[in-house]
Structure 1
Amino acid sequence: MNIPNALTTLRFILIPTYLFVYFSKINNSFLFAMIIFFIAGATDVLDGYIARKYNMVTKWGTLLDPLADKLMLLTVLFSLSYTNIIPHWVFYIVLIKEISMIIGGFTLLKKYETVVAAKYYGKAATVLFYVAIGILIFNKMFGLYFLYCAIFLAFFALYNYFIHFIQIKRQAKY
């Protein structure tokens, strides 16, 4: 296992760690959980940088890296909605979007042996989610504004991935 894939694996481990800390009774559990979330974000940036710079990109990493990101984001949105920091619909709408992306990704892999790497607009949406959640810590109203912008950008990414999916299916026909 190379370093980028180890960092992706670490992000999977941080998901239950985040939940344990967030819902624990320890002092400052919210703050510590947010630190775990931002550490996960830093490992995402780091693994992508290392993978590209040192030519360590693997199919495993290309597939599991975005899955780790999606699961971490959904976990955080779930916990924030469960504790009424954000509206519940935010979690559900992002959940539907992410499930659609996961199903589409696995379909492309299984049926067409194609892995679609993350595009800049998907990465921008992820960054905006991190920014929004960071702002939410200090200012709920301003943070929610950024969160809604992140949702819009995430659905723009979904639309573009859908167009790409259709193009791959058409190419496979011919």
Structure 2
Amino acid sequence: MNFNYKELRLIPNVLSIFRLVLVIPIVYFILNGIEEHRNIILVLLFVMYVTDISDGFIARKFNMVSETGKIIDPIADKIAVAAIFISLFIYDMIPVWFFCIVIFRDILILIFGYFVGKKKDIIMISNFMGKITVFGIGLVILLTILKMELLTPYIRFLYYIVTILIVYSSILYFFRYKKTIGEH
């Protein structure tokens, strides 16, 4: 698990870093009047989403997969989700229980990933269920920012669906980490 500063110049890693930079204006606009800045926030979230998809695609398509990218990409995702969720929570748009579940999940994944990396010198990458869960979390963020009264019942229902996904994917992560640590 080596972090190589030269690899930061690879396009996928630049996109991951750019995604991190986008967190700053998104959080700023959420905290300074989500209603007035909703369209800007949505555009920035769209750009963030496109860079998240693009970095992995470019890395695989053009043989730019790097150890540094395997570190930066998931950390950028976790920081983005945490910062946006904290902002929405401060703005009282996310229920406390859901906020705690999402943040707790990301902290656990980072901790488990750190220990696996230290013990096995490998980086655990997200599996399909983890990606579906992150998509669900992103959908919650999007619908929350849209804040249309028509969507309120669906957002509440989505909280429960995403919570089930979080619990299920967390269990899968735990068993993957346990299996990886147990391998020689």
Q: Flag as ranges the 4+ runs of structure 1 deviating above 6 A.
A: none
Mapping of residues 52-91 of structure 1, within 5 Å: 52-91=60-99
The separation in 2 between residues aligned to 1:146 and 1:133, in whole angstroms, is: 11
- The whole-number CA distance in structure 2 between the counterparts of 1:58 and 1:13 is 20
1:12 corresponds, among 20, 26, 39, to 20
Single out whichever of 151-160 and 101-110 deviates more from structure 2. 151-160
Q: Judge conservation of contact 1:132–1:144 (CA < 8 Å) in 2.
A: no
Matched-pair contact (CA < 8 Å) for 2:30–2:88: no
Amino acid at match of 2:113: G
Contact 2:85-2:99 within 8 A present in 1 as well: yes
- The change in CA–CA distance for 1:107 and 1:26 in structure 2 (over 3 A counts) is closer
SS in 2 for 1:28: helix
Deviation by residue 1:55-94 (Cα, 9 ceiling, x = unmatched): 2111111122111111111222222222222212211121
**Closer, same or farther in 2 for the Cα pair 1:39/1:159, shift >3 Å?**
same
One-letter code aligned to 1:166: K
Q: Which runs of 5+ in 1 are unaligned?
A: none
TM-score of the two chains, using structure 2 as the length reference: 0.85
Measure the CA separation in 1 of the matches of 2:36 and 2:27.
14
Cα distance in structure 2, aligned partners of 1:99 and 1:92 = 10
Between 1 and 2, higher relative CO (CA 8 Å, sep ≥ 6) is seen in 2
Residue segments in structure 2 that go unaligned for 5+ positions in a row:
1-8
Q: Displacement of 1:39 after TM fit?
A: 1.8
Counterpart-to-counterpart distance in 1, 2:60 and 2:168: 25
Deviations 1:114-155 (A, max 9, x none): 111111111111112222332332322212322331232122
Residue matched to 1:103: 111
Aligned identity (percent) is 26
Deviates more, 1:56-65 or 1:25-34: 25-34
Contact 1:133 1:147 in 2 (8 A): no
Aligned residue pairs, count: 172
